[in-house]
């Protein structure tokens, strides 16, 4: 009986305790802090969030020479952005621009650039550097082009290739790049129809590859190839090429690199302010100084020439070379 009474007393105390705590009101949760008003859509990326991705398409020569590996982290830190870089020939780079897939371009095909801008896809073109093309080939020079003009050299390569396609070959980029466009221009200057060249025989090899792989292919085949001197020097250093420069110093060999912003009127989502900052950085003293010295220690000469220096001292307008327009003023 005493044990039963004790058990009933314990149960009664538990019921009363539960009632007391059950009636107690929980303290209300603190109200959440008001969320900051979002920045206007057009200005969100101007806050320079480190996760903002700035996209460019650039020609393969700037990749093959390692210049973009050097420049990329500098601009990322300066603008506090993450760069997405597509390395492709100029033709493919322009197609990315026409689709609005990138914010800016680096290209080197003046005729294609003019068309791109005229169609409203690009704005704020600025030249920022230049180099030159050359024709490289086997030291034995089976077509006898050494000492020729570039048009004469192409004619000799064609004639010798048609005569003996096993002994004489020419490797073409065949990829609608700036180098490929220059090649087609030279064939025209030499008096040939390019479509006829393409179908003329096995001496003419269309690689459909970037400049570096084309140099390696020409080296393996002991063939002639049109290349920019910067990529040739870089690949000669790391791959010990057996082909050698045979024709240089021709008016058609001038090769100017330009940066173009994608037109926000065509593609409202492009990051035009960062693109303009990027272009002004390329033509500014920091990058121009880098371009004037890049490669000197390793190759005994800079791989590229700063456009500002060329405009100021006239070196970009060498005798016999077409003038380089002064598209070097900062974007407003």
Q: What is the pLDDT of residue 49?
A: 55
Given a cut of 80, whether residue 45 has pLDDT beyond it is no
Q: What is the mean pLDDT of residues 218-244?
A: 95
Q: Above pLDDT 90, what percent of the chain? A: 70
pLDDT band at 318 (very low <50, low <70, confident <90, very high): low
Instruction: Give per-residue pLDDT as tens, 149-191.
Output: 999 999 999 999 999 999 999 999 999 999 999 999 999 999 9
Given a cut of 50, whether residue 228 has pLDDT beyond it is yes
Given a cut of 80, whether residue 14 has pLDDT beyond it is no
* 3 vs 67, residue with greater confidence: 67
Asked whether the beta carbons of 201 and 161 are under 8 A apart, the reply is yes
Q: Which of 99, 216, 126 is nearest to 86 (CA)?
A: 99
> Range with the lowest mean pLDDT among 49-58, 128-137, 174-183, 275-284?
49-58
Instruction: Give per-residue pLDDT as tens, 255-295.
Output: 999 999 999 999 999 999 999 999 999 999 999 999 999 99
Neighbours of 136 (CB within 10 A): 24
Q: Which domains does the chain have, with CATH numbers?
A: 52-132+255-313 (3.40.190.10), 133-253 (3.40.190.10)
Q: What is the model's pTM?
A: 0.80
Q: How far is it, in rounded angstroms, from Cα 258 to Cα 14?
A: 84
Q: What is the pLDDT of residue 155?
A: 98
Given a cut of 50, whether residue 41 has pLDDT beyond it is no
Instruction: Give per-residue pLDDT as tens, 76-121.
Output: 999 999 999 999 889 999 999 999 999 999 999 999 999 999 999 9
Task: Say which residues have a Cβ less than 8 Å from residue 301's Cβ, sequence separation at least 6.
Answer: 233, 295
Given a cut of 50, whether residue 33 has pLDDT beyond it is no
């Amino acid at each position: 009986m005493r044990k039963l009474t004790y058990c009933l007393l314990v149960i009664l105390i538990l019921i009363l305790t539960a009632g007391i705590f059950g009636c107690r009101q929980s303290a209300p949760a603190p109200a959440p802090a008001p969320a900051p008003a979002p920045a206007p859509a057009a200005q969100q990326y101007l806050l320079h969030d480190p996760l903002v991705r700035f996209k460019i398409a650039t020609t393969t020569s700037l990749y093959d020479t390692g210049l973009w590996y050097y420049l990329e982290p500098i601009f990322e830190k300066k603008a506090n952005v993450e760069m997405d870089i597509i390395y492709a020939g100029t033709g493919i780079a322009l197609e990315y621009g026409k689709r609005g897939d990138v914010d800016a371009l680096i290209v080197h095909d003046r005729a294609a650039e003019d068309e791109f801008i005229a169609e409203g896809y690009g704005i704020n073109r600025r030249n920022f550097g230049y180099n030159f093309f050359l024709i490289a080939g086997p030291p034995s020079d089976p077509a006898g082009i050494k000492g020729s003009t570039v048009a004469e050299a192409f004619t000799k390569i064609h004639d010798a290739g048609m005569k003996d396609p096993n002994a004489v070959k020419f490797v073409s980029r065949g990829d609608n790049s700036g180098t490929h466009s220059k090649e087609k221009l030279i064939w025209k200057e030499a008096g040939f129809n390019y479509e006829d060249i393409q179908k003329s025989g096995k001496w003419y090899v269309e690689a459909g590859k970037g400049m570096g792989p084309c140099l390696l292919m020409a080296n393996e085949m002991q063939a002639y190839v049109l290349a920019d001197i910067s990529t040739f020097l870089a690949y000669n250093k790391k791959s010990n090429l057996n082909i050698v420069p045979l024709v240089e110093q021709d008016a058609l060999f001038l090769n100017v690199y330009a940066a173009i912003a994608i037109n926000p009127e065509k593609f409202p989502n492009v990051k035009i302010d960062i693109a303009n900052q990027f272009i002004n950085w390329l033509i500014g003293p920091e990058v121009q100084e880098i371009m004037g010295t890049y490669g000197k220690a390793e190759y005994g000469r800079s791989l590229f020439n700063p456009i500002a220096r060329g405009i100021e001292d006239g070196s970009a307008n060498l005798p016999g070379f077409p003038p380089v327009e002064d598209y070097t003023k900062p974007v407003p």
